[in-house]
Every structure is written in structure tokens, then in C-alpha cells.
Amino acid sequence: MLFNSLHYLIFLPVVISIYFLIPHKYRWAFLLAASYYFYMSWRAEYIILIIVSTVVDYYCALLMSKEPQAKRKPFLLMSLFVNLGLLGVFKYYNFFTTSLNELFLAINLLNEIPGHTLLLPVGISFYTFQTLSYTLDVYWGKREPERHFGHFALYVSFFPQLVAGPIERSTHLMPQLKAPQKFNPDNVYYGFYRILLGFVKEVVIADRVALLVNTVYNSPEMFAGPQYMLATFFFAVQIYCDFSGYSDIAIGTARIFGIDLMENFRRPYFAKSITEFWQRWHISLSTWFRDYLYIPLGGNRLGMWKTYRNLFVTFLLSGLWHGANWTFIMWGAFHGVLLIMERLSHEYLTPLTDRIAAQRFNLVKVVITFILVNIGWIFFRANSAADAFYIVSNLFSGFENLSPVSAFANLGLTKSIFLFTLASICGLFLFQYFDSQKNIYKRFEHWNKLYQWTFLYSVIILILLMGVFGDESQFIYFQF
């Protein structure tokens, strides 16, 4: 069930109404049933995978709590084996078998490993990491296991963030799901505000720019440097609006129930370094990798070179988490190398970095960071590694006798829609800039109610008139 579907627009108010009408002691069961229905509306049989992960991690955590730290490892290994095994079979099996078959062919071996045709379960990477964080926290003694199976099952499958995050920690989300929540008009109002903001990002901007991005990236041999640059910039906008838009809708939906989800994005394209970018982009995932991979590997406690190794391994696996394709692995490796280079520059070029850090250079640093992030997006978006290298190698071609009409014609958007899209992107970045300076929502709260609702209804009309709906509207991160 997509957030931007009619099905969801009927589902959500019904669930909210029943949730606040029934007694608190029955709410967990109702919300769990609603969450399972939400997931099963996509493909019913795959709910078995969520239930298997839930049962295994629930009992592994209980069994670990009965043992001293030294004897907990078998139960942790069981949890890792089941969860990562399911993830591996459904998401990575074909990738690794295809890669091995290509290797066998290259070295003249006739052996061929058969693949499978199973459809990738929506959100499997997200809920797998969410439940694994719980098991690891219990293993390390950071929390006691949850005794109520239903409350734990709801934590794993809470529908607003089930299929694309934010990836919540049990210590943050579970107490809120168990606490009695009262209907609060302020929560409804803020939730509605965030949901509309998410819809603007998704259906007005992301799904619109996707038309141009798909045109160029699906046939790169037909275009040249100017089109690659424009399409890559548009993809940077698309993936940000798509994913942060989904997070906005998830956060807004949860807030209506009285539940606060963690912020997943904090204006990442305003970052002044790659390090800062990852403190602002997909925060729930980057902090997950920090806490459950980078730090257990040793973090920055084992010396400079092992720190660089840990950084590179973490981002290499982060790339693999995003998808079973060499393009994602290259994207992760690219960011790992950039972070190592940043640390090296701070290590050996301190006087230079101090000088660059002066206030008047902040805009330059933002622009440089944005350009580097866009180079990485080429690998992320390309359909294959060959396409990615082709685009990079021809990025500065085709500028001879350049005319705007010929360069940007036949890219999937009419002239008027193209100009509207550019205006929308500028409006989004201006909104984010002023929000960072003035906290627009806090000011908006003090408006006269008539003005507030006039503004919100105007946004709804904008979404209905300029949004992209139907088969062309989709969330990119559903595939992860």
C-alpha cells in the first residue's frame, strides 16, 4: 500500500478513528493487525517473513537474558543467521550467483549456479535492521528483553515506518507504543502539516523530475555531458524528495497517534563536508551502521589506519545494503574513500583546513560537497556499472555549439513543466534555508486558524493539480 494511493487515504483515517475510540489495552492488537494488513495489501504471503523474524528475535532475546554475557553468543548467531539469511536469499542470492556465473564464464568453467525468480519483499532491509538492533542491544546488555510478544511484534511492524524507515531503536519506539496515547489536536495538526510536506516533495517534485532522470539514465548513449549533468542534478533532487518525503509522511502519520519517530533528514544538501552530509542524510541508517558495525569493528579506537579500514568497510556494506548491484557497492566505496580523504586532510593539512573553514568559505564548501555527492549519485542511479563509467567518462562532452533548446529538448518534460519543476526545486531549497534560520513551522503555529487552513488547503490543491499519480508515482526506497 503506497502512501500516495487512494487505498491509504481511506485506510489512515479509519485506523486513526478506531485507535482512539477503543480502550488502551486493546490498541496494540488493533495497531498490529492494521500494520499486518498494510503490509499484506502489497503481497500477503510475505507477511510470513516478518512473523518469522519477529518470533526468532523475540525468543532469542528472552533466552539471552537468562544467560551471562559469555554464553549469549549462540542465540545472537541464531538471530543473525535467520535475519541475514532471509535478507541474503531474497535480496542478494541472484546478485552473487550471477557474479559467480560471469566469473566462471570468464575462466572457462562450465558450471552454472541456478538463480531464483522470487520477488524482493518490500522493506525487508528496513525491518531486518530494526529487529537486529533490538537483538544486539539485548546481547550487549543495553536493554532488557520485551516480555510481551504483541508489543514486540508491533515494534517490528509499526506501519508508518515499516517499509522505508526511519529505522527505529527499540529503546525509543517501544515505550511510546506501550504508553497510553490521548487524542491531541496539536499532534493531528502537526502530523497533517508533515504529511502534506511529504506529498509535495514526492508527487509534485520527485515524481516530476523522475521523468527527465529516467529518460537520460535509461538511454545514456543517446545523450551527452549537459544532459548527464542536468539529469544527475535532478536525480539528487529526486532521491532526496522521494526519501525525505516518505519520512515526512511516516513521521506525520506516527505523530497523529502521539508517537515521535526520529528525524531522518536535516537539509543534507546544505552540508559543508561529506562527514556532515552523512550526519544529515538517512540519519537512522547512518547511525545504525555507526553503532552496530563501525564501533564494534573498533571505530576510531585502534589507530588511524584501522579507523580508515573501518570507515571503508562500513560504507562498502552500506552501499551493498542499498541494493544487489555493483553500482551500489561502487557508490558506497566512493563515499568511504571521500571520508578517508577528509580525515587525511584534517590529519596532515590542518593549517589549510582551518583557513578554508573560515565563514566566508562556507558557501564554497557547500557547493564542493554537493558536487562530490552528485558524482556519487551517478553510480547510485546508473542501471549498470558500464553505464555509470560511460556517463562519467563523457560528463564533459557535447558542450560544443551548445544551445539550450537542443541540449534540453526531448528529455521527458515540456518547457512549461520544466520551468515549473525548476521553480519548485528553488522553492524547496529556499523553504529549507529559511526554515533552518527562522523555524517556519513554529511561526506558522501562531498564525490565525483561518490563514493556517487556507494555506494548507492551497497546498492540497497544488498537490492535486501538479502532482504525478498512477504508475509513474513510486517511492525509490521501496526497492531497498
- From the centroid of its chain, how far is CA 17? 29
Which of 322, 335, 346, 446 is an active site residue?
Answer: 322
Residue reference for cell 580523504: 341
The angle subtended at Cα 439 by Cα 435 and Cα 442, nearest 5°, is 135
Taking the C-alpha atoms of residue 346 and residue 351, their distance in angstroms, rounded to an integer, is 9
Taking the C-alpha atoms of residue 466 and residue 480, their distance in angstroms, rounded to an integer, is 27
Q: Over the range 337-375, which residues count as b (16 or more CB within 10 Å of their CB) and which as e?
A: ebbbebbeeeeeeeeeeeeeeeeeeeeeebeebbebbee
Contacts with 61 (C-beta within 8 Å, 6 or more apart), sequence order: 75, 79, 134, 135, 138, 145, 146
Q: 288: part of which helix (H) or strand (E)?
A: helix 283-289
To the nearest 10 degrees (0 to 180), the angle between helices 124-139 and 149-157 is: 140
322 part of the active site: yes
What would the grid cell of residue 141 be?
546488555
Residue 323 phi, psi dihedral angles, 5° rounding: 175, 155
Judge contact between 262 and 284, C-beta under 8 A: yes
Q: What is the DSSP string of 105-152?
A: HHTT---------PPPPTTHHHHHHHHHHHHHHHHTTSSPPP--HHHH
Judge contact between 21 and 13, C-beta under 8 A: no
What would the grid cell of residue 303 be?
589507530
Active site residues: 322
